[in-house]
A and B are shown apart, each in its own frame.
Chain A
Amino acid sequence: MKQKKQSGFTLLEIMMSMTLTAMLLGMLSAGLYSVVNDWQNETSVLDETLDKSLVLLQVERALIAAFPHSYINQDRLARFVYFEGDENELRWVSTVSPQRRNGLTAWRLVSDIQDGVQLTLTPAYSDNPDNRFDELEPTTILENYTAEFSYLVQRNDDEKEWLDEWIGEEMQSLPIAVYIIFTPIDDSLDEEVLEVLASIRTWKHEDIQPSISPI
Chain B
Amino acid sequence: MIKINQQGSVIVVTLWTIILMTILITVIAGQIRLSSKAAFYHKEELTDWANVVSAINQAEMELMLERMPRPPETIDDLNDINKNPLFRFNGQQLELSYPPSEGVTVRIYDHAGKINIREIGRPRMRALLEKKLGEEADDQIDELIASWGDWVDLNNNAGIDGAEAEYYEALDNPYIPRNGKLETVEEILHIKGFEEVFSDVELASAFTLYTDDELVNLNLATVEAMQLLPGLDDELIGEILAFRQNNEFRGNGDVAQIVPAENMAELRPWLNSRRTSNFYTIVAYRKLVSEEYPFDDDELIEVDVTLSAFSEIVEITSFTEKPKILKINPYQNIPARPVVRIEEEFLE
- Residues of A whose CB lies within 8 Å of any CB of B are 3, 6-9, 13, 17, 20-21, 24-25, 28-29, 32, 35-36, 39-40, 43, 46-47, 50, 53-54, 61, 64-65, 67, 69-72, 74, 79, 95-96, 100, 102-104, 123, 125-128, 201-202, 204, 206-207
Contact = CB atoms under 8 A, between A and B. Distances in A.
Contact of B329 (A6, A8, A95): A95
A13 B13 CA distance: 14
Interface in B11-42: 12-13, 16-17, 20-21, 24, 27-28, 31-32, 35, 38-39, 42
B326 A202 contact: yes
A17 B1 contact: no
B186 interface: yes
24 contacts: A7-B5, A20-B13, A21-B13, A25-B16, A28-B17, A46-B39, A47-B38, A65-B328, A67-B328, A72-B176, A95-B328, A95-B331, A96-B331, A102-B333, A103-B184, A123-B175, A126-B176, A126-B177, A126-B178, A127-B175, A127-B176, A128-B176, A201-B328, A206-B183
A134 to B, nearest CB: 14
Contacts of B331: 95-96, 100
A36 B28 contact: yes
Interface string B87-104: 000000000000000000
Nearest to B35: A43
B245 to A, nearest CB: 31
B28 A102 contact: no
A96 B328 CA distance: 9
B5 A9 contact: yes
Given A43-B31, A70-B183, A103-B184, A25 B17 contact: yes
B117 to A, nearest CB: 14
A29 B312 CA distance: 57
A24 B1 contact: no
Nearest to A67: B327
A72 B180 contact: yes
Which of B6, B42, B183 gathers most chain A CB within 10 Å? B183
B329 A28 contact: no
Which of A17, A64, A102, A128 gathers most chain B CB within 10 Å? A102
Contacts of B27: 36
A50 B39 contact: yes
B341 to A, nearest CB: 31
Contact of A202 (B5, B9, B308, B325): B325
B186 A202 contact: no
A206 B182 CA distance: 11
A102 B173 CA distance: 16
A29 B38 CA distance: 28
B1 A7 contact: yes
B203 interface: yes
B38 A50 contact: yes
Contact of B35 (A35, A46, A103, A206): A46
Contact of B184 (A39, A67, A74): A67
A125 B190 contact: yes
B278 interface: no
Contact of B186 (A35, A40, A47, A103): A103
A53 B180 contact: no
Contacts of B184: 67, 103-104
B326 A206 contact: yes
